[in-house]
């Protein structure tokens, strides 16, 4: 019996000790058994994975039923094929999404199920869009902490264990009132004052830590305000830049809840999705950092109104400032410095303000006033 116990103890030590002698990545026993692959710095070689034209990446998108997830899936499926891009969420997809390509239920807080999905589908890229955004997060900090931080930890561990390239978006909300605002560089003080912003700074730092310690191929872009005609505004601080188009066409009147001179960085959704694909495809050796600012344009409500009125001269605008949203906007960058993204992997936006105006009005159904104005 003593001999058997000694052999058993030695076997356990062998299984739990990485070949390089580095400290293993630890998880609770309920999530990872002692036989699970231990993540060590010796796994770093997977970040150089490349794909031939016939061997496309297999992509999983978490939180995929949001505007960005569905849009990115469409873009990736055109390039890599429908079966190679799997959307996932905890909600039931609308019928048109179900018909468009593979969809699977995935709860990022369920570590075992998430790991099975990655393994069974041989996932090689994971785009992690699951998150509670700022307004919802402030209303339920506990849930936001669970989803945005605990869920992220599950994603990080699974991707590190199985050699999956990971993309996690960040946001202008990752900066705070003590950050430089015009321009805001990639590296500076970040002291956000929302749980959403705090969780995004946490994601940036944890992703970079896993990259340096375990070789995780982590990639992150800080998105500016994203403008799209395909979804209704959700009450966010930058959503005025979407609301104005709907109100201008439907009512000829727009009430802006920010001051006329509030400058914020913005981007049309097509540029945002293309930037995400480009940074995912960029060779690892071209990336001098793991978290990049990206930008396209920066404007104020007054500048946007002036451009819209070129299409609809009769548009009436009222400024009814919301002090809460204004305080948030005043703590965010006025302009992103994205020179590193442009230098390292060739980022270049397509849409400036005039192109944005034309595109938005071409998508949103115009009424007779817009037709007459044109």
Number of H helices, E strands in the chain: 15, 13
Query: Angle at CA 79, nearest 5°, toward 77 and 85?
Result: 30
Contact 304, 244 (CB under 8 A): yes
- Is 196 catalytic? The answer is yes
List the catalytic residue out of 111, 196, 240, 351. Answer: 196
Secondary element (H or E) of residue 36: none
Which residues of the chain form beta strands (DSSP E)?
59-62, 85-89, 103-105, 125-128, 165-167, 170-171, 218-223, 225-227, 253-256, 264-268, 291-293, 297-299, 316-319
Q: Report in angstroms the alpha-carbon separations of 78 from 83, 84, 106.
A: 11, 10, 23
Q: Which residue has the tokens 């990022």?
A: 108
- Give the pair of three-digit tokens for residue 191: 């002291």
State the catalytic residues: 196
């Amino acid at each position: 019996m003593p001999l058997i116990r000694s052999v058993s103890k030695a076997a356990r030590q062998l299984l739990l000790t990485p070949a390089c002698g580095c400290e293993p990545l630890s998880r609770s026993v309920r999530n990872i058994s002692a036989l699970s692959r231990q993540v060590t710095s010796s796994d770093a070689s997977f970040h150089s994975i490349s794909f031939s034209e016939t061997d496309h990446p297999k992509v999983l998108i978490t939180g995929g039923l949001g505007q960005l997830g569905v849009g990115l899936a469409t873009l990736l499926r055109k390039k890599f094929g429908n079966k190679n891009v799997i959307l996932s969420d905890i909600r039931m997809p609308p019928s048109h999404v179900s018909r468009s390509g593979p969809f699977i239920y995935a709860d990022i807080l369920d570590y075992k199920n998430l790991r099975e999905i990655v393994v069974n589908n041989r996932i090689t890229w994971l785009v992690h869009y699951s998150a509670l955004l700022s307004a919802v997060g402030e209303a339920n900090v506990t849930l936001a902490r669970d989803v945005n931080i605990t869920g992220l930890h599950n994603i990080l561990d699974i991707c590190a264990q199985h050699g999956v390239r990971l993309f996690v978006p960040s946001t202008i909300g990752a900066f705070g009132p003590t950050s430089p605002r015009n321009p805001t560089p990639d590296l500076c003080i970040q002291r956000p004052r929302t749980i959403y912003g705090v969780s995004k700074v946490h994601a940036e730092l944890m992703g970079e830590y896993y990259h340096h310690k375990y070789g995780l191929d982590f990639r992150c872009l800080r998105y500016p305000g994203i403008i799209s005609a395909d979804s209704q505004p959700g009450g966010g601080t930058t959503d005025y830049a979407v609301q104005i188009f709907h109100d201008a066409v439907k009512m000829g009147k727009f009430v802006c809840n920010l001051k006329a001179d509030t400058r914020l960085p913005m981007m049309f959704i097509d540029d945002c999705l293309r930037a995400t694909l480009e940074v995912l495809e960029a060779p690892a050796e071209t990336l001098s950092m793991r978290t990049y600012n990206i930008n396209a344009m920066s404007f104020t409500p007054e500048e946007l109104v002036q451009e819209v009125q070129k299409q609809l001269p009769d548009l009436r605008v009222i400024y009814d400032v919301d002090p809460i949203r204004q305080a948030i906007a005043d703590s965010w960058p006025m302009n992103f410095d994205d020179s590193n993204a442009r230098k390292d992997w060739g980022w270049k936006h397509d849409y400036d303000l005039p192109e944005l105006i034309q595109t938005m009005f071409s998508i949103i159904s115009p009424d007779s006033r817009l037709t007459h104005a044109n």
